[in-house]
A and B are shown apart, each in its own frame.
Chain A
Amino acid sequence: MRRALCLCVLLWCAPAWARDAGRAQAIAEQLRCLVCQNQTIAESDAPLARDLRMQVSEQLAQGRSDQQVIAFMVARYGDFVLYRPPVKPMTWLLWFGPFVFLGGGLFQLYRVARRHEQELT
């Protein structure tokens, strides 16, 4: 009877475990491993990545939100811990620069083409 009760309690908790594990994985895929810096802490085998994954799981178990856990990491390691750089004035050049250069290049191409056309006529 007690075994059945334990089983029921475990099955009842399972969805919460699964949900937290899913959130932990999602957060871990957004955080950079500071040791193997081209990997996320989800992918990296470095001891620090393991420690940080554990921190993420523990904080979620304590009831923190995804944003709170990410803020915890950024407060300690800075923006670089975010695998995707944030879009803020400091990183506008990084995000929009390629499009600006592409635009500039296309514009020049257009001007050269126009001049060519005018010279031909």
Chain B
Amino acid sequence: MKKIALLPLIVFGLLVIVLAAGLRLDPAEVPSPLVGKPVPPFRLARVEDPKASFSPSDLAGQVWLLNVWASWCGTCRQEHPALMAFSRSAKVPLIGLDYKDPRGSGAAWLEQLGNPYRWSVLDADGRVGIDFGVYGVPETFVIDKKGIIRFKFIGALTPELIRSTLQPLLRELENA
């Protein structure tokens, strides 16, 4: 058999590899252009105490997490136990962005399920969410000591993701 007859087989093999790699990607996932950029500034009223407010500048010099959630979000309910476990053991502040919730709904949800957040702020009209490139809920951003966004989790955080990806990253950023 001539060697050249193997060419279609080789091309087919390469095609299988490329397509198999492609099948493992999620085409609906939108990578964030904000990774590596400074966290968008904002100042919003706190969910627990509307008279108080929070801004990312309040946590300058610290590594922290911003978790986008809402009382109307079913996946957030699924993510909630993992966040509760994480916040109980972790030293890194977990800040919540209550996205497009009517006033009071977020607070009631936290009352009912438990509050894993150090503070939550209310983004009632979703404008801060747009600044963060939020297109679904939940999403979680990791911010380093210099206020740079270093990672974005799209979808719910699971115990596996926390253990395999989040905690090593936090360790690395804390030691920086």
Q: Which residues of A contact B133 (CB under 8 A)?
A: 76-78
Bound form: Cα–Cα A37–B30 in Å: 10
Q: Is B8 an interface residue (CB 8 A)?
A: no
Identify which of A9-17, A21-29, A45-53, A109-117 touches chain B: A45-53
Partner of A76, one of B31, B131, B136: B131
Q: Is A1 an interface residue (CB 8 A)?
A: no
Q: Is A39 an interface residue (CB 8 A)?
A: no
Q: Is A90 an interface residue (CB 8 A)?
A: no
* A73 nearest in chain B by CB position: B130
Q: Is B32 an interface residue (CB 8 A)?
A: yes
Partner of B135, one of A55, A74, A75, A77: A77
* A35 nearest in chain B by CB position: B135
| B94-146 at interface with A (beta carbon < 8 Å) | 100, 125-127, 130-133, 135-136
Bound form: Cα–Cα A52–B135 in Å: 11
Instruction: Contact check, B136 vs A75: say whether CB atoms are below 8 A apart.
Output: no
Bound form: Cα–Cα A61–B135 in Å: 24
Partner of B132, one of A35, A51, A76: A76
Q: Is B25 an interface residue (CB 8 A)?
A: no
Q: Could you tell me how many residues of chain A have their Cβ less than 8 Å away from some Cβ of chain B? A: 15
SS class of chain A's interface: helix, strand, loop or mixed? helix
Bound form: Cα–Cα A80–B154 in Å: 15
Q: Which residues of A contact B135 (CB under 8 A)?
A: 34-35, 48, 77
Instruction: Contact check, B100 vs A77: say whether CB atoms are below 8 A apart.
Output: no
Instruction: Contact check, B100 vs A34: say whether CB atoms are below 8 A apart.
Output: no
Instruction: Contact check, A55 vs B130: say whether CB atoms are below 8 A apart.
Output: yes
Q: Is B34 an interface residue (CB 8 A)?
A: yes
Q: Is B13 an interface residue (CB 8 A)?
A: no
Instruction: Contact check, A77 vs B28: say whether CB atoms are below 8 A apart.
Output: no
Q: How far in angstroms is the closest Cβ of chain A from B39?
A: 13
Instruction: Contact check, A78 vs B30: say whether CB atoms are below 8 A apart.
Output: yes
Instruction: Contact check, B100 vs A78: say whether CB atoms are below 8 A apart.
Output: no
Instruction: Mark contacts of A63-106 with chain B using CB atoms, 8 A cut-off: 1 yes-contact digit, 0 otherwise.
Output: 00000000000111110110000000000000000000000000
Instruction: Contact check, B33 vs A78: say whether CB atoms are below 8 A apart.
Output: yes
Q: Which residues of A contact B132 (CB under 8 A)?
A: 76
Instruction: Contact check, B33 vs A77: say whether CB atoms are below 8 A apart.
Output: yes
Q: List 25 A-B contacts (CB under 8 A).
A: A34-B30, A34-B135, A34-B136, A35-B136, A37-B28, A47-B100, A48-B126, A48-B135, A51-B125, A51-B127, A51-B130, A55-B127, A55-B130, A74-B33, A75-B33, A76-B34, A76-B131, A76-B132, A77-B33, A77-B133, A77-B135, A78-B32, A78-B33, A78-B133, A80-B30
Give the A-binding residues of B (Cβ under 8 A): 28, 30-34, 100, 125-127, 130-133, 135-136
Give the B-binding residues of A (Cβ under 8 A): 34-35, 37, 47-48, 51-52, 55, 74-78, 80-81
